[in-house]
Chain A
Amino acid sequence: MKSGDLLAPLEIGRISEETIRLWSEFLADPNPIHLDPAATAAMGLGHRVISQGPANLAYVINLLMANFPGKTIEKISTQFSDNVFGGDIATAAGRVLSADSDRITCEAWLEIEGRGRAIICEASIRLEG
């Protein structure tokens, strides 16, 4: 791969409220904005439950693992710039920033249909053991 090459995108599909509920358990996070649309509305954040930021990042990590099977993720730097809501349709995508024989650096993101990128990452992948 070389600088500018696009990663094979990963279609996530619709973010389900059930997945968001499960992640509240995984994260031991009882924040009601992830469980109750009324709580989200009370915070002035919309009228749907909000997907946890780490769950959104996990989709982008899946993209990296799918594009670089068996390789090692060394570093990830993430900016969380927008909420992802239950019912949103998401796609993880990315492109190569630099590549040499030892490692590849990528920009990767989670794109929400109709709204744009909710998180943006820069990741370093080690190619050799």
Chain B
Amino acid sequence: MSKDLPPPPNPAGFSLDGSEAYTITAEQNAALCRSIGCEPASDGTAHPIYYYIATQIGMGPSVAEFCEACDFDVDDGPMIVGSEVTFRQPLMVDQPYTVTGSINSLDRKMSRKLGVMDLAEYTLDLHADDMGEDAVVLESKTRWVLPRKELS
């Protein structure tokens, strides 16, 4: 990071735990699948992209509150730049899931395209709480760029 830039905020450890279960309904899954040209599975599994949707909607803070924790205005346009997921079990429709997670890090960088930006990384895991101790269904890690127009 350039010496001329102010230090970034430090939201590492900010909890993203969800407080309410998220359920992928069969109807939602069918609508999503058909919107992208495929048929929903007949065995009760949901489209794998629900790894992102379920964790993002099921996390506790809203996206605006997440951005606030990073001292960033959501109206300035956060952008997803990376995502990783490891599935331990298939995602199922009509199964309540809960989310745990936290912000891992925030690093300030200079980009030729975006100017000053912060790179925020966070972890969200999805749990099927009625499936016993081995209830972690998936682990995900996401990276967003937060453009700092005011510093560019």
Contact = CB atoms under 8 A, between A and B. Distances in A.
Interface in B80-95: 80-87, 90
B53 A54 contact: yes
A101 interface: no
Given A54-B49, A72-B90, A74-B87, A59 B36 contact: yes
A58 B36 CA distance: 8
Contacts of A80: 79-83
Residues of B contacting A: mostly: mixed
- Chain A's interface size range is 20 to 34
Contacts, number: 72
Contacts of B53: 26-27, 54
Interface residues of B, number: 26
22 contacts: A12-B37, A22-B31, A22-B32, A26-B31, A26-B35, A27-B57, A28-B57, A29-B63, A53-B80, A54-B53, A55-B36, A57-B49, A57-B83, A58-B36, A61-B48, A62-B38, A65-B38, A76-B48, A78-B82, A79-B81, A79-B82, A80-B79
Interface of A: 12, 19, 22-23, 26-29, 31, 33, 43, 53-55, 57-59, 61-62, 65, 72-81
Interface of B: 28, 31-32, 35-38, 47-49, 52-53, 56-57, 63, 77, 79-87, 90
